[in-house]
Amino acid sequence: MTTPGLIRYDIADPQAGGQRRPFAKAVRAGDYVHVSGQVPTLNGEVVQGGIVAQTEAVIANIKAVLALAGCGLEDVIKVTCWLDDPRDFSSFNAVFERHFIDHPPARSTVQSRLMIDAKVEIDAIAWKPL
C-alpha cells in the first residue's frame, strides 16, 4: 500500500538478492527526508577498526541514502546518534565535526546497546524543497 505524497527509497536489500525489507532506507514527506538509522556496514559486513572507521562508514552510508533523495549532508537538519560506549564520544565527535562543521545539524547523542555488534548508529532528517 502506498501513501500519497510519500516517496520511499531503497526498500529492496541487495544483500538479500533484492528481497524487500520491512523498512525504507529513507522516506521523503514533502520537503523532509527521513533517513533510517545507518550502521557501519560495507557489503553486508560490519566495518572493523573502531569508532573512527565505523563513524566514517556510517556517514558514508548516510550520504549514499541522502543521494537517493537528491540530498547531501548540507541538507541535514537533525541527527540522532547512538554510541555503544560513551568513552568513544570524543573520537566520534571529531569525525562528525569534519563532515558537518560548515552546516551543523541539531543533534542528540545517547548511549545505547545496538542491535548489531557495532559501535555507532545514526539516523538523520534532511530538509530540501522539491
Averaged pLDDT for residues 13-34 = 78
Q: Please, which pLDDT band fits residue 6 given cuts at 50, 70 and 90? A: confident
Pairwise pLDDT comparison (8 vs 65), residue with the higher score: 65
Is position 55 within any domain? yes
Averaged pLDDT for residues 97-113 = 97
pLDDT at 110 over 60: yes
Q: Which domain holds residue 96?
A: 37-124
Is position 6 within any domain? no
Q: What is the pLDDT of residue 107?
A: 98
CATH (domain of 90):
3.30.1330.40
* H, E, C per residue of 78-103: EEEEEECCHHHHHHHHHHHHHHHCCC
Averaged pLDDT for residues 30-37 = 96
Parallel/antiparallel/unpaired status of strands 76-83 and 106-111: parallel
**pTM for this structure?**
0.90
Q: Please, which pLDDT band fits residue 23 given cuts at 50, 70 and 90? A: confident
Q: What angle do CA 38, 39, 41 make, to 5 degrees?
A: 120
What is the total count of domains within the chain? 1
